[in-house]
Structure 1
Amino acid sequence: MRAFKHLDTITALFVAVLLISNIASTKILTLGPLTFDGGTILFPLSYIFGDILTEVYGYGRSRRVIWLGFVSALVMAITLAIVGALPPAADWGNQSAYETILGQTPRIVAASLIAYIAGEFSNSFTLAKLKIRTAGRWLWLRTIGSTLIGQLLDTGLFVLIAFTGVVPNSLLWPLIVSNYLFKCGVEILFTPATYAITGWLKQEEQEDYYDRNTNFNPFHLSQTHQ
Structure 2
Amino acid sequence: MAHFLSNKVNKLFLILGGFFVANAIVAEFIGIKIFSLERTLGLEPMNLSLFGVDGLGFSLTAGVLLWPVVFVMTDVINEYYGQKGVKFLSYLTVGLISYAFVMVFFAIWISPDLWWRDVSGTLVGNEVSDMDLAFRKVFGQGLWIIVGSLVAFLVGQVIDVFVFHKIKKITGEGKIWLRATGSTLISQFIDSFVVLIIAFYIGGDWDLVRVLAIGTVNYLYKFVMAIVLTPAIYFAHFIIEKYLGKKDAERIKKQAMHS
Instruction: Output the TM-score relative to the length of structure 1.
Output: 0.86
Partner of 1:62: 86
Counterparts of 1:104 and 1:185, CA distance in 2: 28
Distance 1:20 1:117, change over 3 A: same
Of stretches 164-173 and 178-187 in structure 1, the one that deviates more from structure 2 is 164-173
Selected match of 1:6 from 5, 12, 34: 12
Partner of 1:207: 249
Partner of 2:217: 178
1:17-36 alignment runs, 5 A limit: 17-32=23-38, 33=46, 34-36=58-60
Selected match of 2:112 from 67, 88, 93: 88
Higher relative contact order (CA 8 A, sep 6+): 1
SS across alignment from 1:92: helix
Partner of 1:193: 232
SS across alignment from 2:235: helix
Query: CA offset at residue 103 of structure 1?
Result: 0.5
Give the count of matched residue pairs.
214
Q: Is the 8 A contact 1:35 1:174 kept in 2?
A: no
SS across alignment from 1:58: helix
- AA in 2 matched with 1:19: I
1:55-134 alignment runs, 5 A limit: 55-93=79-117, 94-134=131-171
- In structure 2, runs of 5+ residues without a counterpart are 39-45, 47-57, 118-130
- AA in 2 matched with 1:62: V
- AA in 1 matched with 2:166: K
Query: CA offset at residue 14 of structure 1?
Result: 0.7
Counterparts of 1:160 and 1:23, CA distance in 2: 20
CA deviation map 1:81-135 (0-9, x unaligned): 1111122222232121111110112111111111110001111221122112211
Counterparts of 1:200 and 1:3, CA distance in 2: 13
Counterparts of 1:75 and 1:132, CA distance in 2: 37
Of stretches 193-202 and 162-171 in structure 1, the one that deviates more from structure 2 is 162-171
Counterparts of 2:196 and 2:214, CA distance in 1: 7
Query: CA offset at residue 173 of structure 1?
Result: 3.3
- In structure 1, runs of 5+ residues without a counterpart are 215-226
Aligned-residue RMSD, C-alpha: 2.0
- AA in 2 matched with 1:163: F
CA deviation map 1:133-187 (0-9, x unaligned): 2112111110111011111121111011111234466753343122212122212
Percent identity at matched positions?
Answer: 24
Check if 1:162 corresponds to 2:199.
yes
Query: CA offset at residue 203 of structure 1?
Result: 4.8
Greater Rg by CA: 2
Distance 1:12 1:212, change over 3 A: closer
Partner of 2:179: 142
- AA in 2 matched with 1:61: G
- AA in 2 matched with 1:95: D
Counterparts of 1:35 and 1:170, CA distance in 2: 17
SS across alignment from 1:91: helix
